[in-house]
Structure 1
Amino acid sequence: MFQAWFIANQTYSEGRNLTYAEFPSKFTYHQKEKYWEPRKNGYSIGRLSYIPVGSGELYYMRILLTVQKGCKSYECIRTVDGNVCKSFEEACYILGLLRDDKEFIDGISEASRTESGHMLRCLFVRLLNMNTMTKPDVVWNATWKFLSDGILYNRRRTLNIPDLQIPEDELKNLCLIEIEKLLMCNGKSLKSFKCLPYPTFDSLFAEENKLISDELNYDRDQMRQLHEELLQKLTDEQHHVYSTIMKSVTAQDGQFYFLYGYGGTGKTFLWNTLSAAIRSQGNIVINVASSGIASLLLPVAKQLILHFAFLWLSMISQIAASNNRT
């Protein structure tokens, strides 16, 4: 009956000003032959079957059938002002048939003042299960910082890294993983909500590994800015070496390179540029040195040698204090 309505709209111009529910008032449907024709006498009231909110696109298509007229295809139903929308839900939203989700955004924002991040995630999952939100992706984009509250703190405690930093994209992914766990407890998944991103679990092990998290504990934006500054200062010869090594890193072909030159020719400067380039991509690079003086010029290694230097000075001061007492 529904698909025959498309054909009838293509055939009869008088039905193109009627919605699907209004169509029986002017047309009659022949059940056996499965076609509509203009009504010769009488009058009939059409009705649409009830569709629950949780039915997804079918629910939004039913809403559109109450306002769209003369549709000749499914694409025509979700066409607004000559533009075909990606989904029936999007068409409903453009036509103003759905209410604004601002109340849910304000509710989560207000709850964040007194509730923990875990409770806010439970609230978000409750809203998803109840199909209350019109556009969950809009609510997610507006409140994800509130929903991810406490995740960074728990990671710092678990890994025992007080100054641990997590990029925004990884923090979002961890928050989505926590939401996915809560949804699975209710027999659902983020995969059921096409508008929401689905987390990747590949990086979860790396986030729980202290050694890996320690090596990734740097600001990518800062590394990216440092890399751009250092790259502009390279000489032609240094830039050639830089390009050769970076191509090998990108291709992951496992090549081995030996960089040599006299003192002051910029070997360490080149290593610092390579380190900043690799870390700006979110990868791990470990700089090692054969002597303490060389390690002072390399990132991370410099921090390690300074740490041991402070320990050594502390030991010297304790020994001196002990000798003074004796």
Structure 2
Amino acid sequence: MRLHLHLEDEEPIIYEGEDTLLDVMHKPSIGRSMFLAWFKANKRYKNARDLLYVEFPQEFVYNRKDLIWTPRVRPKVFGRIHYVPPSAGDVYYLRIMLNKVRGPTSYKKLKTVNGTIYPTLNLPGLTLQPEDAKNIVLSYIEDLMVRGGSTLKRIPNMPYPNYERANESTNMLIHDELNYERKSLKEEHDRLFTLLTDEQRNVYQTIMTSVNDEAGGVFFVYGYGGTGDIVINVASSGIASLLLTGRRTAYSRFGIPINLTEDSFCNISPDSDMAALLRKTKLIIWDEAPMMHRHCFEALDRTMRDIIPSTHSKDAEKPFGGKVVVFGGDFRQVLPVIPGASRNEVVNASLNSSYIWDSCQVLRLTTNMRLKVGSNIVDKKEIEVFGKWILDIGEGKLSGHNDGEALIEIPRDILLDDKGDAIASISSCIYPSLSEHLDDPEYFQDRAILVPTNEEVDSINYHLLSLIDGEEKIYYSPDSICPTDDCDAFEKSLYTSDILNAVKLSGVPNHILTLKVGVPVMLLRNIDQANGLCNGTRMQIRKLGEHVIEAKVITGSHSGDIVHIPRMKLVPSDRKIPFRLQRRQFPVVVCFAMTINKSQGQSLSQVGLFLKKSVFSHGQLYVAVSRVKSKKGLKVLVCDEDNNPTNMTKNVVYKEVLQKI
């Protein structure tokens, strides 16, 4: 849970544009906030005074309607205080004190130390440990002496600064990574460790042995989809990052360039805070790795070898500067998406085609944990049969020799009968009684219709949108050529508004965006990853304004949060068009249906797979059928070239990728 903070008499106030000053001053929320409610809870509850602010959500829950904290009865959650840079002044010092002072009942109590009330929030001894403060002062003195041609080393018995520790004490990236409640995490670790299978325990112990011995090493944990020192967690996609502590994508965490080449480096300078964090890091976990281009991993490898000093000559040859790196994922799933690429180009772009793979130890997990959820002994046989069928699809075994593409038969018990209108049939199957469930966000959480292309996505979403009562709101985007694009006047005259408006690109909303209150939508941009707003987050529309959309998050750890999405200038980097389009639109799309590629990383209870067009790339069919938690949750509707229902469909598997593992 993200915890808000503010200085005295500076709590945020939310008001409508047409409100008068008098209306604003008489709002019930004036003088009330999550942070001020914490002070009141400390006065009211005796046990609250033993907790730090970051520990508070473990024992108390914040009621956003009444703006009060009350004792928690549901499972515990972890708190994280909003990041504040040192340049913020008193707010920065306030954040540091909140990680040290327990149970204050007012700002005055926060500024009181040993009976003395200090005038500012920068209290002595609270912002830095004495050793850290000494190092910082010594480093300043040493710098001044060096400029004057001298050094502290010339003075007998004079301490010399530890520059590494001095830099770490002011590095907020390191502070953030160490700002976890270790006691609670230790308890959670111990609880989860008892639940590990023998396979999982062996994987865990193998990796931790390398971490504890500081031996370095690269590991790939190969399994089904769904399987105190600093640990960096990153993911290859936005939706996968929501499943990780820290919630960061690899691109944002490591500064990976958008346009990669085989010689690229990450945007991390050796003297930056990020470089210092990497040097201190013990373990990097990178989820959904097979879907990333191998140049991403090679760029990080080159960067880390460059910024991490080697204590021995042999360490210089170790991948990733001798750090332990764990990749996770499933090569049966979708491989790197390269527009217009051939089969050979896709295979060559995969992680196991990189030189890094030669140093990678593969650790296998063979149990599909997604299908195990909520299962019992009666379902065990059916789960095993269904799991084997999914695995055979992923490995291309259902049609004998498969040299890339082959027809396979869909079992009749998961085939959906076509009632004459394929879109209506699949829609009513997955979204029955749609209008009656608009007030139930849980209805949309675990169900979706999956299709291979955006064309079918638009058709299904349009159909289901038309079934919802209520006024629709249509948003038209102002489109133009990006001002930074090097186009002369003649070229710009060729691309009229009609041409620009007609452009449809993956990952960018269309020129015309039609929405209704209650409709589920998916975010198409990473807006605020720390608060769960990233590419792939699903939400339900609550209010439709001219410039802002209000929605409720319905997936991930931030499910239930009310968020506001603004219109944004979006500039796609798609090379299929000869210019850079700039489109100002809400970064959302209706998501009753989504593409198979977009569903990767999600677990769903109800999936309708609509194959009006066959899958066209490696792993797509496997990804689609493996999204469900049980066989009962999967329905497949396949159409042939004449739009007649059939039980045969294409499966695409590049076996040369699987043979390298």
- The TM-score, its normalising length taken from structure 1, stands at 0.33
| Higher strand fraction (1 or 2) | 2
Q: Which entry has the higher C-alpha Rg, 1 or 2?
A: 1
Relative contact order: is structure 1 or structure 2 higher (C-alpha 8 Å, sep ≥ 6)? Answer: 2
| Higher helix fraction (1 or 2) | 1
- The TM-score, its normalising length taken from structure 2, stands at 0.18
